[in-house]
Amino acid sequence: MDDWQRILQESLRTPEEISERFGLDLEEVRKISRAFKIQITPYYASLIRKKGDPIYKQVVPDVAELAENSGEDDPLEEDLDSPVPSIVHRYPDRVLFLVSHSCASYCRFCTRKRKVGDANKIHPRYIEDGLDYIKDHPEVRDVILSGGDPLILSDEKIESIVSQVRAIPHVEIIRIGTRVPCYLPQRITEELVNRLKKYHPLYINVHFNHPDEITPEAARALNMLADAGIPLGNQTVLLKGINDDVETMRKLMQKLLTVRVRPYYIYQADYVKGTEHFRTTVEKGLEIYQGLRGWTSGLAVPQYVIDAPGGGGKIPLIPEYVQSITDEKVVMRNYAGEIFVYPQVKRAKRRKPRPQPPCYAGESQRI
């Protein structure tokens, strides 16, 4: 057994283990675990410094998850865009391919709460159907392996899926979405990386939400992936009490760049049942974007997006930098709030056409 498999096996998962380790009411933990799987790798649990800190909140269950007052089971209506159970085909040229039903640890705010951790929802036999669907749809040039977490599968299984997708002539790029470098960085091994790098162009998007998650172990995993020529992006979820302030987000984005990860998206938390306690206002997201843009490297500024409820896809939100646009000028404010004016290009007025003088090559340069 590999080191990472042993670590994964030693994860905290039973209500008894969880309630004992974190001093929680056993009956409550049992109730929560029936609604959404609980699992925490010993590695990630070791990053917790105190009860209720940003690491703790992401994985330790809270009774607030049982609140039924608001939120949807499938806010993004992914099921309506699923021609086969393992495929979400929402955009014209790319698909999500759900290949795994497990994660290394379970995020309490997960959008796919009702799917992950349940072997019957994302079953291995659906992988065949997914491959057939992609083969039958020549417009699909970008395949995003997702789940669950694809990198929780065995080396053989991962390579089998990636190689079969790569063999489809119209698939130009393959992406993998994974939280493994954050929850279980030991899973990024020489063996895995050597297998993956045979299938370029391959991109990996990782998921870090707090600067404390970027440990020496995570840095090692990320550098190995980058050394294999895999461009790395990061997706962060904006979460109340975890990263909903400019200072934390700026530190996170800057730290990601030091381990060769380019921040890609900050997601507004989805409207999912049992995650209300993690949601922030949209103004908070705009404030964070504004606190990054211009104040630090442009490379450290991800897009802030809302995955629109009802299946509208990701919609970017940008604070208002343009104050007014007329035919004469554009009035803008910069990152620090100072006002600047850009003169518009003169547009030909639509009056009656006047006879034009003959034009000689080079004339305009003579003056």
Ligand X SMILES: *Cc1c(COP(=O)(O)O)cnc(C)c1O
Stretch that binds ligand SF4, among 62-70, 100-108, 282-290, 302-310 (CB under 6 A): 100-108
**Shortest distance (Å) from residue 212 CB to ligand SF4:** 17
Please tell me whether residue 55 binds ligand SF4 under the rule CB under 6 A: no
Q: Which of 135, 293, 314, 333 is catalytic?
A: 314
Contacts (CB under 6 A) with ligand SF4, residues 134-173: 148-149
Active site residue 270: yes
Active site residue 314: yes
- What six digits make up the tokens of 287? 């404030």
Residues near ligand X (CB under 6 A) are 88, 90-91, 94, 96, 144, 314
Q: Which of 37, 57, 94, 115 is catalytic?
A: 94
Among residues 101, 112, 187, 195, the one that binds ligand SF4 under rule CB under 6 A: 112
Binding partner of residue 144 among ligand X, ligand SF4, none, CB cut-off 5 to 8 Å per kind: ligand X
Q: Which of 110, 126, 195, 255 is catalytic?
A: 110
Q: Which of 51, 91, 198, 329 is catalytic?
A: 91
Binding partner of residue 90 among ligand SF4, ligand X, none, CB cut-off 5 to 8 Å per kind: ligand X
Q: Which of 74, 149, 244, 270 is catalytic?
A: 270
Active site residue 103: yes
Residue burial 83-105, b: 16+ Cβ < 10 Å; e: rest? ebbbbbbbeeebbbbbbbbbbbb
Sign of CA dihedral 48, 52, 58, 62: positive
Sign of CA dihedral 355, 360, 364, 366: negative
- What six digits make up the tokens of 348? 């030909």
Active site residue 307: yes
Binding partner of residue 96 among ligand X, ligand SF4, none, CB cut-off 5 to 8 Å per kind: ligand X
CB 107 within 8 A of CB 179: yes
Active site residues: 90-91, 94, 103, 107, 110, 112, 270, 307, 314
* Interface residue list for ligand SF4 (CB under 6 A): 103, 106-107, 110, 112, 116, 148-149, 179
